[in-house]
Amino acid sequence: MERKSIIDFLLKLPDTRRQAGKRHSQELILLIVLMAIMSGYHGYRAIGDFIERNRFDLLANLKPPKDRLPTFFTVRRVLMGLDYNEFAKQFYQWSKSYIEIEPWEWLSVDGKAIGGTAKRENSYQDFVNMVSIFVSRQKMVLTNGKIINSKESEIPMVQQLIKALDLTGVVFTLDALHCQKKQ
């Protein structure tokens, strides 16, 4: 399989910003966001800090038009309009060309609640849950999905993620929650 640049996949994402006043391409902004997150900068202002702290290197290596980098306001606007599911799909397509899944490889599937995402004070069931498929031998997350616990169940999300992976000859380990009879 030919390995393509992450930019090739980021170009496939729709840009929801209006045309007037666009100074930065969406793929440049998303590339910087990915680098910031991989460097431990989480949140709009933190990504803005990453941009400022690494300004010289970003300008030298990315060569943006007119030597301008996006502000955290621009980053925020792009991320707020981004279709998370489409972004995850494109990121998975890119990463798939770099990850070799061998026959009989073990893949662990599990969901975790994200702390601090509860919407109401006395609601124990209203939080965001991330479901991940983890490649045990390689110690990396292969794909993940987000669910709102009060509205959705983990079961269909896991089934959807496994189906999207389109893998055969691997072993999935799951919680007992997923041992269901189809009716």
pLDDT in tens, 61-102: 999 999 999 998 999 999 999 998 899 888 888 887 888 888
3-state secondary structure 107-121: EEEEEEECCCCCCCC
State whether 84 and 142 are in the same domain.
Answer: no
- The predicted pLDDT at position 119 comes to 56
Of 96, 123, 142, the one marking the end of a domain is: 96
Beta strands in the chain (DSSP E): 106-113, 128-135, 140-148, 171-173
State whether 89 and 18 are in the same domain.
Answer: yes
State whether 17 and 62 are in the same domain.
Answer: yes
State whether 79 and 146 are in the same domain.
Answer: no
Residue 1 belongs to a domain: no
More confident residue, 143 or 115: 143
Residue 101 belongs to a domain: no
Whole-number Å distance between alpha carbons of 169 and 173:
13
- The predicted pLDDT at position 34 comes to 93
State whether 86 and 126 are in the same domain.
Answer: no
Residue 183 belongs to a domain: no
Residue carrying structure tokens 């269909």: 156
Of 96, 115, 139, the one marking the end of a domain is: 96
CB-CB contact of 47 with 73 (8 Å): no
- Residue 106's SS3 state is strand
> What is the pLDDT confidence band of residue 31, given thresholds at 50, 70 and 90?
very high
Whole-number Å distance between alpha carbons of 135 and 132:
10
What total of structural domains would you count in the chain?
2
State whether 173 and 120 are in the same domain.
Answer: yes
Domain range spanning residue 158? 106-178
CA 86 vs CA 9, 48, 57, 74, 89: distances in Å = 10, 24, 29, 20, 5
Q: In the predicted model, what is the mean pLDDT of residues 107-122? A: 68
State whether 153 and 87 are in the same domain.
Answer: no
- The predicted pLDDT at position 22 comes to 86
- Provide the whole-model pTM: 0.68
More confident residue, 124 or 84: 84
Whether the pLDDT of residue 128 is over 80: the answer is no
Residue 69 belongs to a domain: yes
